Amino acid sequence: MFRSHVLVCGGTGCYASGCQSVFDALDVEIKKQGLEKEVGVVQTGCFGLCALGPIMIIYPEGSFYSLVKDTDIPEIVSEHLLKGRIVERLLYQETVCEEEGIKSLNDTGFYRKQLRVALRNCGVIDPESIDEYIGADGYEALGKCLIEMTPDDVIKVILDSGLRGRGGGGFPTGRKWQLAKNLVPDADQKYVCCNADEGDPGAFMDRSVLEGDPHVLIESMAIAGYAIGADMGYVYVRAEYPIAVKRLQIAIEQARNYGLLGKNIFGTDFNFDMEIRLGAGAFVCGEETALMTSIEGNRGEPNPRPPFPAQKGLWGKPTVLNNVETYANIPQIILKGADWFASMGTEKSKGTKVFALGGKINNVGLVEIPMGTSLRDVVYEIGGGIPDGKKFKAAQTGGPSGGCIPMSLIDTPIDFDNLVEIGSMMGSGGLIVMDEDNCMVDIAKFFLEFTVEESCGKCSPCRIGTKRLYEMLEKITSGNGTMEDVDGLQGLCDYICDNSLCGLGQTAPNPVKSTLRYFKDEYIAHVQDKKCPAGVCTDLLTYKIVDEKCKMCTACIKVCPTEAITGAVKQPHFIIPEKCIKCDACVQKCKFNAIIKS
C-alpha cells in the first residue's frame, strides 16, 4: 500500500502541454528521494480542465496542481511528498476568485455543478489497467446481465431508464436495441458498432472516454451484443486519436486475456469479440449508414433509409450503432437501475450530458452536467464566465450542424427538446461560447464552410445547395450583399434541409437559420450600412489614426507590410486606404490605442 498517490492527467490536451516530461521527471525524482515504495504514480485520463494542463492531483490530501512543469517536480517531491507541505504556488486558482488556491478538485466551481456518470472513471483510474477498472465495479454489469438477466430484461432496463443516444439524434437507446433484436429474429449474424469518429470541430468527449476509461466501452458493447444476439463488435475511431486507439487496443487485449472477450464469457454460452476500424476523419462518416459503408471498406457515403441499420446494417445484417458516450452510461444503469438514471435530468431527457466547452470561456474543457442545467450555469458557474470582462453574445451547440443561442435565451435548460425548440440541437456535445467581438454572420459562414468541405457530394441539395449558401454569405460579408440575398437565405436553407439525403445536409443550414432568427440586425448592417458591427469582416472595415491619441512614434509604420502608413517621428501619421490590406498589424503594435477600425 502506498501512503500517497499521484495522479497525472494523460489525456491528449495534457500530452500537448508536456505531461509525459512531468511523468518522467516524477519517476526520476521519486527514485532519487527513495520514495518508490511509498508513493504510487498513475497516468490517468482527462480531468476536464484541459487548458490548465499538465494537471496533477495528490491523494490523500486531494491537492490539485495545474500548469505543472517538469522543472516543478523536484519541489513537489521534496516538499509535498517527502515533507507533507503543499506547494501553494502551483495550486489551481479559480478564475472568479483568485485570492486563494484550490486545495481539492471538488472545491472548484468547475466541478461543483457537474455530475459524472459517463466520465466517472476518467482522471480516476489507470486506463491501461484492467485490474483498476475491475476495482471500480468494472465488468460487474456484464456479469449481472449474463448470469441474472435475459436479453429482454436488459433491453427493458435500458428502455425504462430513458437513455437517449448521445451521438446527436437522441433516439431512445433501448428502442434501438429492441428493434435490432426483434425485426429479423432469424438472422444468422448481427453486429454491434460504436461511432467513435467524432467529426465535430472542437468536440472531444468520446476521445476522452476512450483515453480515460476504454474498458467501459468494451463492457457496454458486450452487453449490447448479449441483448440483441450479436457476437461481434466494431469500434470506428478516427486515426487522429492515437492515444485513444492505443489504450483501446490494450484494453481489448487485456479483456481477451481475462476471458471477458471471446468465447463462453463468464462461463456462459455467450460469445463476443470486437475489433477497431480506423477512419480518415470524414465528417459524413458520423452518419450511421456512411460509417458502416466505411467499415465495409467502401467510400463513406450515406444510403437512403429505410431500411434502417437495425434491420439491414453492416454487411446487410441487423446492427446496433451507438456512440462512445451512450455506451459509457450502460454499466451504471445496469448496476444502479433504471430509476436511478431516470431520476436525473428532465422528463424527456434523462441522465447527464458531456460537453466539450470551448471558445470565449475561462474554463475550457470537458464537463458533464445533468440534463436540464441552464446555459447560464454552464457559462458562468462551470465555465467561469467570459475572459477579459467581455459580454456573452451567443453559444453554439451541436457543432457545425447546430444553432446559435443568444443572450436572451441563456436561461434555457439544456436538453434535447428545448434546444430543438429554440433552433439549435444537442449534437454530440460541442458547446462554443462567443462574446461581443464575434460577428454572427461570419460565424455562420465559418461553420458552413466546414460542411461544404465535408459534404460527400452524393446528393445535389447538399453538394450544390450548401455551396450556393456559402457564396451568398461571402457576398454579404464582403459588402456586396443585398436585401434580396438576405431574404433568399431562408428559402435556400429550407430547401437544403427538406431535400438532402442524410443528416449532414439536413442540418448544415442550422447556423444560418439560427443567426437569421436571432441576429438578423447584423445581416442588415452588413447589407445596408456596409458595416460589420463586431469589426470582424475585413472588407467592411476602415482604419483610421486618431490624432489626439497618436504619439507619432512610427511604430505602426515599421510593421505595416504594404507601406500604407505615412509619416515620420514627431510628424502626423496617416493611413492610405488604397494600400491598406487590413492585416491588423498596426492596431496590435500601437500601445496608445490610437488606431481604430470601424
Q: Which of 357, 416, 421, 399 is nearest to 504 (CA)?
A: 399
| Residue 594 in this model has a pLDDT that exceeds 60 | yes
State how far Cα 175 lies from the chain centre: 26
* Residue spans of beta strands (DSSP E) within 98-163: none
- What pLDDT was estimated at residue 101? 55
- What pLDDT was estimated at residue 291? 95
Stretch 400-420: mean pLDDT, rounded? 93
Question: pLDDT tens digits, residue range 14-38?
Answer: 999 999 999 999 999 999 999 999 9
DSSP conformation class of 249: H
The three-point CA angle 189-190-196 to 5° equals 140
Based on the number of CB atoms within 10 Å of its own CB, is 221 exposed (0-12), middle (13-18) or buried (19 or more)?
Answer: buried
Stretch 473-487: mean pLDDT, rounded? 94
Assigned CATH class of 4-106: alpha beta
DSSP conformation class of 538: G
pLDDT confidence of 94, banded at 50, 70, 90?
low
| Residue 113 in this model has a pLDDT that exceeds 70 | yes
| Residue 103 in this model has a pLDDT that exceeds 70 | no
Topology of domain 542-597 in CATH is Alpha-Beta Plaits (3.30.70)
| Residue 97 in this model has a pLDDT that exceeds 50 | no
- What pLDDT was estimated at residue 99? 44
- What pLDDT was estimated at residue 60? 92
Stretch 290-307: mean pLDDT, rounded? 93
pLDDT confidence of 255, banded at 50, 70, 90?
very high
pLDDT confidence of 93, banded at 50, 70, 90?
confident
Name the pTM for this structure. Answer: 0.92
- What pLDDT was estimated at residue 532? 93
The three-point CA angle 449-452-455 to 5° equals 150
Contacts of 480 (CB under 8 A, 6+ apart): none
The H-or-E segment that residue 366 falls in is: strand 365-370
C-alpha cell at 189: 449474424
Q: State residue 192 phi and psi, 5-degree precision.
A: -120, 130
Percent of the chain whose pLDDT exceeds 90: 82
Q: Give the CATH number of domain 440-529.
A: 1.20.1440.230
Q: State residue 436 phi and psi, 5-degree precision.
A: -65, -15
Stretch 539-565: mean pLDDT, rounded? 91
Whether residue 573 contacts residue 557, with contact meaning beta carbons closer than 8 Å, is answered with yes
- What pLDDT was estimated at residue 209? 96
Q: Which of 183, 187, 195 is nearest to 317 (CA)?
A: 187
- What pLDDT was estimated at residue 133? 98
DSSP codes of every residue in 10-40 = -SHHHHHTTHHHHHHHHHHHHHHTT-TTTEE
* Positive or negative torsion for Cα 410, 415, 418, 419: positive
Residue 367 gets the label, from left (phi > 0), alpha (psi -120 to 50) or beta, of beta
What is the spatial distance between Cα 309 and Cα 235, in angstroms, rounded to a whole number? 16
Based on the number of CB atoms within 10 Å of its own CB, is 391 exposed (0-12), middle (13-18) or buried (19 or more)?
Answer: exposed
Stretch 75-79: mean pLDDT, rounded? 96
Percent of the chain whose pLDDT exceeds 70: 98
Question: pLDDT tens digits, residue range 442-469?
Answer: 999 999 999 999 899 999 999 999 999 9
Question: pLDDT tens digits, residue range 130-151?
Answer: 999 999 999 999 999 999 999 9
Pairing state between β 63-65 and 56-59 = antiparallel
**Second CATH level (architecture) for the domain 352-435:** Roll (3.10)
| Residue 179 in this model has a pLDDT that exceeds 70 | yes
CATH superfamily of 130-342: NADH-ubiquinone oxidoreductase 51kDa subunit (3.40.50.11540)
| Residue 102 in this model has a pLDDT that exceeds 60 | no
What is the spatial distance between Cα 374 and Cα 383, in angstroms, rounded to a whole number? 12
| Residue 96 in this model has a pLDDT that exceeds 60 | no
Stretch 174-187: mean pLDDT, rounded? 95
Q: Which of 128, 100, 109 is nearest to 10 (CA)?
A: 128
- What pLDDT was estimated at residue 336? 98
Mean pLDDT of the chain: 93
Q: Which of 266, 23, 271 is nearest to 146 (CA)?
A: 266
Stretch 470-489: mean pLDDT, rounded? 95
DSSP codes of every residue in 309-323 = TTTS-GGGS-EEEEE
Extents of the domains making up the chain: 4-106, 130-342, 352-435, 440-529, 542-597
| Residue 319 in this model has a pLDDT that exceeds 50 | yes
Pairing state between β 232-238 and 191-196 = parallel
